[in-house]
Amino acid sequence: MDQPPSETTAYHEAGHAVVALVLGRPVHAVSIRPDHQHAGTCCFGKPVFRPTEDWLEREVLISLAGLAAEAAFTGDYCWDGAARDLQYARGLLLQRGGNQRAADRLERRSLSKVEHILSRPANWRAVQKLAGELLRAGEISGRAARHFFEECQREE
């Protein structure tokens, strides 16, 4: 199923934003306006770390969320389009796993966890809402992203 790049990019970036918000990471802005390096961006606020929190897992899940949301929308994984996200996540997973085999296993488990997060109806509605707003405006603030996310959570 071929979708216009801006639409798939909107779902990709919305996926990052929604999973970040689910996991308590502030979102500063989300954009599908391409630049010389990116088709879109999701900029995060300064993370707040709690002593009991697994920050590495949170970063991996947020990194994989764009790929997972885009795949949920299109039906296909765009591994090449998510190369930067995957490089970051795989580097973290290699640190965690200690070897490539363990990192690969952790990647599959993490991708499954992200897919589960996005499959919750309220979270998927939030992805759809953010993607629609991105297509309409090209960029939204973190405040707007949080507002749409919370609105969809209340609908559940």
Give the chain's domain count. Answer: 1
d(CA 81, CA 12): 10
Provide the domain limits for residue 132: 5-154
pTM of the full structure: 0.92
Is the per-residue pLDDT at 96 higher than 80?
yes
Structure tokens at 54: 């697994």
Is the per-residue pLDDT at 155 higher than 90?
no
Structure tokens at 153: 């959570």
DSSP code of 75? Answer: S
Q: What is the CATH number of the domain that holds 106?
A: 1.20.58.760
d(CA 46, CA 87): 21
Instruction: Note the pLDDT of residue 48.
Output: 72
Q: Are strands 41-44 and 139-141 parallel, antiparallel or unpaired?
A: unpaired
| Spatial contact of 18 and 123, defined as CB atoms under 8 Å apart | yes
pLDDT in tens, 122-145: 999 999 999 999 999 999 999 999
Is the per-residue pLDDT at 1 higher than 70?
no
pLDDT in tens, 61-84: 999 999 999 999 999 999 998 999
pLDDT in tens, 110-122: 999 999 999 999 9
